Amino acid sequence: MPDQSELLSPAPYDALLLLSFGGPEGPGDVVPFLENVTRGRGIPRERLKEVGRHYFLFGGVSPINAQNRELLQALRKDFAEHGLELPVYWGNRNWAPYLTDTLRELVTDGHRRVLVLATSAYASYSGCRQYRENLADALAALEAEGLPRPRVDKLRHYFNHPGFVQPMVDATLAALDELPVGLRGAAHLAFTTHSIPTAAADTSGAPADHGEGGAYVAEHLEVARLVADAVRERTGAEHPWRLVYQSRSGAPHIPWLEPDICDHLEELHGEGAPAAVMVPIGFVSDHMEVKYDLDTEATAKAAELGLPVSRASTVGADPRFAAAVRELVLERAATERFAEGLAAAAPERCALGALGPSHDLCPVGCCPARSPRPAAAGVD
């Protein structure tokens, strides 16, 4: 049986990188940030100013960076309290601190084998493969500078880890409690996530998962079922539920996942639903797409309809999520030691529901790119 020091060993890893999307932190940042996000698409600057109106409503500040700082501190606190000696860094794809700068800091500090936690819990091109492409670009930039190229591995998808699901259950119960007492028992649950093109959804996940909706829809449906079942067990009430979508940004002629949350609220109102709770299972933190698309736009639509609504919080820096990250780090470290012949057995892999734990390495054909680009932390 392994001793306690082995159970808490992050070896062979020597650092964890929190990798996120990034967001503006002032009015002057909004358009440059959007230029980073849309680079290569040829979108005029004036159009970006129009797109950025959501940010300007909040003083040009996205909540995401502040929330990542909170998560960073929660991870460091949890690691320290449990004796896990692993430094945690933070880098973004589209705004400071930029990924390349953070990786440069990592290698300058002497780290050579890095685990990555992406702030996206599900399989999809934009939620996984694109992060891996950005990692490959950053590693190539370090190599071009003559710096050491660290080995980078990505933690598996954690959508069905108890440390992600259980905070969502409690958040849903808390949101139900915000509704008038007489409406709670029959309130509908609207589980929301980011809409993506149906073509991207259909090819999300490993090739075996491809098909209508792919892994992206299947994984969200699984979390929605897990949360709805737990809410029923806790309340004794059967709450009708549906997976719906938000934050569509593509051209009108390209099919995206539907229904939109606002259309769904209209449908619920037409059916005579007494109230609804919006549960943003697709998001790790209450960033701009939650604050605007749900708290502002969808809430205004509900008020217009006269439909009482509340909104569940995301997991954010919940201590249970920080603990889940620690468990995932130790699981992956033990898996690598086993693969390298340094451990006698593979570790247990924790997951709720029927889908089981996700893969550690993205296989060939997993969430394929729109056009071929190098990607790190996978087989291809």
Residue 50, pLDDT score: 81
**Which structure tokens are listed for 25?**
């932190």
The strands making up 88-92's β-sheet, listed across from edge to edge, are: 88-92, 15-20, 113-118, 151-154
What average pLDDT does this structure show over 166-180? 98
Residue 2, pLDDT score: 53
Strand intervals (E) in the chain: 15-20, 88-92, 113-118, 151-154, 188-194, 241-246, 276-279, 309-311
pLDDT digits (tens, 9 = 90+) for 276-325: 999 999 999 999 999 999 999 999 999 999 999 999 999 999 999 999 99
- Helices 99-108 and 130-144, axial angle in degrees (round to 10): 50
Residue 9 buriedness (CB in 10 A; 0-12 / 13-18 / 19+): buried
pLDDT confidence tier of residue 3, bands split at 50, 70 and 90: low
What average pLDDT does this structure show over 125-147? 97
Strand partners, 278: 190, 311
What average pLDDT does this structure show over 175-200? 97
| Mean pLDDT of all residues belonging to the chain | 95
**Do residues 10 and 84 make contact, with C-beta atoms less than 8 angstroms apart?**
yes
Whether the model pTM is above 0.85: yes
